[in-house]
Amino acid sequence: MAKKEETPNMVESFAEFKELKNIDKSTMIRVLEESFRNVLKGMFTTDQNLDITMNPDKGDVQIFQNLEVVPDEETKEPGFNPNLKIGLTDARADNDPEVEVGEEHTREIFFADFGRRAILTLRQTLQAKILDLQKEAIYNKFKELEGELVTGEVYQTWSRETLLLDDEKNELLLPKSESIPGDFFRKGETIRAVVEKVDNKNNNPKITVSRTSENFLRRLFELEVPEIHDGLINIRAVARIPGKRAKIAVESYDDRIDPVGACVGVKGSRIHGIVRELRNENIDVINYTSNPQLLIQRALSPAKVSTIAIDEENKTAEVILRPEEVSLAIGTGGLNIKLASKLTGYRIDVYRDSNETFEEDIYLDEFRDEIDAWVIDALKDMGCLTAKSVINTPRETLIEKADLEEQTVDNVLAILNAEFEDDEAESAE
The CA–CA distances, whole Å, from 24 to 136, 201, 258, 391 equal 13, 24, 46, 72
Residue 424 pLDDT: 53
What is the pTM (predicted TM-score) of this model? 0.68
Domain residue ranges in the chain: 2-139, 155-212, 289-354, 361-428
Taking only the tens place, the pLDDT of each residue in 90-121 is 999 988 899 999 999 998 888 777 778 877 88
Percent of the chain with pLDDT strictly greater than 90: 48
pLDDT, residue 379, reads 85
User: What's the CATH code, domain 155-212?
Assistant: 2.40.50
Neighbouring CB atoms inside 10 A of 11's CB total 12
Rounded to an integer, what distance in angstroms lies between the CA atom of residue 327 and that of residue 300? 11
Q: What is the CATH number of domain 2-139?
A: 3.30.1480.10
The angle at the Cα of 29, spanning 83 to 130, to the nearest 5 degrees, equals: 100
Question: Rounded CA gap, 297 and 395, in Å?
Answer: 24
User: What CATH number matches the domain at 361-428, 2.60.40.1120, 2.60.120.1600, 1.10.150.20, 1.10.3720.10?
Assistant: 1.10.150.20
CA distance 74 to 348: 93
The pLDDT assigned to 1 comes to 38
Task: Specify burial of residue 326 (Cβ count, 10 A radius: 0-12, 13-18, 19+).
Answer: middle
- Distance set, CA 405 to CA 379, 386, 396 (Å): 12, 20, 10
CB 162 within 8 A of CB 174: yes
Q: How far apart are CA 286 and CA 298, in angstroms?
A: 7
| Contact status, residue 276 vs residue 355, Cβ threshold 8 Å | no
Blockwise average pLDDT, block size 10, the chain, 429 residues: 44 57 70 83 85 76 90 90 91 90 90 77 81 88 95 94 94 96 92 95 93 96 94 95 95 92 92 93 94 92 87 91 88 92 94 62 82 86 78 86 88 87 56
| CATH topology assigned to domain 289-354 | GMP Synthetase; Chain A, domain 3 (3.30.300)
